[in-house]
Amino acid sequence: MTGHHNTIWSVLFSPDDRIVATASYDGTMGIWNVEDPEHPRLEGLVPSGQEGWLMSLACSLDRAAPVLASGSQDGTIRLWRLER
């Protein structure tokens, strides 16, 4: 995974294995499309809106409209809807 400027702390596959999310010490999250190697970034790197580094990721089991949760060093959790 290229693009992060520091260590990746967490990697997560969506329930349907089509998307991989990465959380980094640099405070960014990557959303990657596994099915299209020519265009791997679905959302690219996005700032999390949280302070400090991202420490963890979790995903709901809803295949139709999965929700991603990112946990940060600042003690907050942010929810992201993974739209297709």
Strands 54-59 and 41-47: unpaired
Structure confidence by residue, pLDDT tens digits, 16-48: 888 888 888 888 888 888 887 666 665 555 666
The residue-averaged pLDDT of 56-73 equals 86
Per-residue pLDDT at 28: 82
Give phi and psi for 29, each to the nearest 5.
-125, 135
What is the rounded average pLDDT for all residues in the chain?
A: 79
Cα–Cα distance measured from residue 82 to residue 41, given in angstroms and rounded to the nearest whole number? 13
* End-to-end Cα separation, the chain, in angstroms: 21
pTM here?
0.75
Q: Which of 2-6, 12-16, 52-56 has the lowest mean pLDDT?
A: 2-6
